[in-house]
Amino acid sequence: MKVKTLDSIKAFFLIFLLVFNIKIRFIPVFTSNILLGLLGAALAVVLLSHNFRNIFISKRLYLHLLFFTFLLFYANATLMVNLSTDLSLIKLLVINNTISILAANFVAFYLYKKNIPLRRFFKIFVYVYFIQMIIVAVFFFNRDICRTAYTIIDMGDRINGKLEDLIAYRAFGISFGFDMGTADLTVAMIFCVYLYLTEENHYKHWLIIYVFCCAMGILVARTMFLGIGVSGLFYIFFPNAKGKRKRETLFSLILLIAIVVVIFFLFFDVEKYMRTIWWVTDIFVQMFSSKGLNHGSLYELTKGDFVFVPETRTLIFGEGKFADNLVSRYTDVGYIRLLMYFGILGFIIYFLYIFSRTTLFFREKKDTQLKYMSFFLFLFQFIFFWKIYYPITSYPLLMLYGLMPYLNSKIRIRNNSNVTSVY
């Protein structure tokens, strides 16, 4: 069935509002994600009231919910054992996760009702981040527009208080974070690589989009270098890709990068952006100097003042501290933060929860390439945890989670005497 252009445009705006969770300064508390979450809650009530007795759900979804229950129970046990009052992770698990899942399911239900296929969803998703990166470029090269936009958009206390210093050397978008934003951008770039390698015709523009988004992503956060590496691995090991296309990629990639560099040095005041250039390249300067890699959270682990005391209670239940000065006292490396909060057992349950969610994607499809992407999305989270805490409320992955009920062939909804597969 042919998808209407207007339906795709509406889907674009819904996904944009979901993944970037926009907050307007003069509207307290309310965000675009909360709005979509409320709509998702209303949708859930309507669907359950009409079809509650006749919804058949995959056993894997029950397993996923079981791991979430274990995780929530263990998080509370950690707080009680350690007499901790740090409720930040509980809030993340319960409030943020619930709102995000409801919001994602509302958007996914719209895609389902409008018969927007999975491949079209991937394209829309990539275009959402492409437009965001265009906004990032406009804000970066015209600081006045950036300042004006942020009189309307609330970026949170972490950024609002030091906006002038930050825009002097790094880029911003509309509610687009630093490390977390580039981690989510990496998911979009994995989709972009998938489309580049699998489209029959008109595929070259996906490579152009990839190079542009990665270039602008680096200006937002140097974590994007990790994202480029991850999406590069996805490209290298992608199964059953067209051989000719893979061979021509290297030449095209080098040519595009060269064009970007030439345009920058010919048409922009390089001296104006020297602070940005030094900031972006500093990690490589440190890497190849006698100092070695001396960067951010990973460097904190090498200073010698990080101590994980292997007491029995700490190993089992952790310390129950997640956001309470943890980044300044220890590090923001995801694995360490989870270990310090949960202990080993909770750490294992956490990743079993992530794994159970990831296996829901495309499990019923007999498409090797989609199964590979499903596995790689799980691997991607493991890789990024070495740099940051990549939360389970990540909007791109929750968007896929929201799509799951409408793609999973095990789920059936019975309307009157008819049984309709929503696969």
pLDDT tens-digit readout, 158-203: 666 677 777 777 788 887 667 777 888 888 999 999 999 888 777 8
* Structure token digits, residue 273: 């952006």
Q: Cα–Cα distance between 29 and 224 in angstroms, integer?
A: 30
Joined together, the tokens standing for residue 362 give 């495309």
Residues in contact with 411: Cβ distance below 8 Å, sequence separation at least 6, in sequence order: 55, 56, 57, 58, 405, 422, 423
Q: Burial, 363: exposed, middle or buried (Cβ in 10 Å; 0-12, 13-18, 19+)?
A: middle
State the chain's maximal CA–CA distance in angstroms: 74
pLDDT at position 291 = 57
The closest of 163, 167, 174 to 141, measured between CA atoms, is 167
Answer yes or no: are the C-beta atoms of 250 and 210 closer than 8 Å.
no
Let me know if 401 is exposed, middle or buried by CB neighbors in 10 A (0-12, 13-18, 19+): buried
Residues in the chain: 423
pLDDT, one tens digit per residue, over 327-382 is: 434 455 667 777 777 778 878 888 777 777 666 655 555 677 877 887 788 787 77
The CA-CA-CA angle for residues 147, 16, 46, to 5°, reads 135
User: In terms of Cα–Cα distance, which of 139, 251, 127, 234 is closest to 190?
Assistant: 234
pLDDT tens-digit series, residues 43-95: 878 877 765 555 555 566 667 677 778 878 887 888 887 777 777 777 777 77
What is the per-residue pLDDT for 420? 35
If one counts the domains in the chain, the total is 1
- For the chain, the helix, strand and coil percentages under 3-state DSSP, each to the nearest 5: 70, 5, 30
Q: Which of 18-27, 49-58, 134-143, 158-167 has the lowest mean pLDDT?
A: 49-58
Torsion of Cα atoms, 48 then 100 then 214 then 299, to 10°: -140
pTM: 0.82
- Contact assessment for residue 263 and residue 256, using Cβ atoms and an 8 Å cutoff: no
The pair of structure tokens assigned to 358 is 């990831």
Across all residues in the chain, what is the average pLDDT?
Answer: 75
Structure tokens at 24: 């307007």
DSSP 201: S
Nearest one of 371, 350, 345, 346 to 360, comparing CA atoms? 371
Ramachandran assignment for 86, one of left (phi > 0), alpha (psi -120 to 50 degrees), beta (any other): beta
Long-range contacts of 211-215, Cβ-Cβ distance < 8 Å, separation of 24 or more: 211/253, 211/256, 211/257, 211/260, 212/130, 212/133, 212/260, 213/129, 213/130, 213/133, 213/185, 213/188, 213/189, 214/189, 215/260
| Enclosing domain of residue 332 | 5-421
**Helix or strand run (H / E) with residue 419:** strand 418-421
- For residues 297 and 179, the answer to whether their CB atoms sit within 8 Å is no
DSSP state letter for 153: B
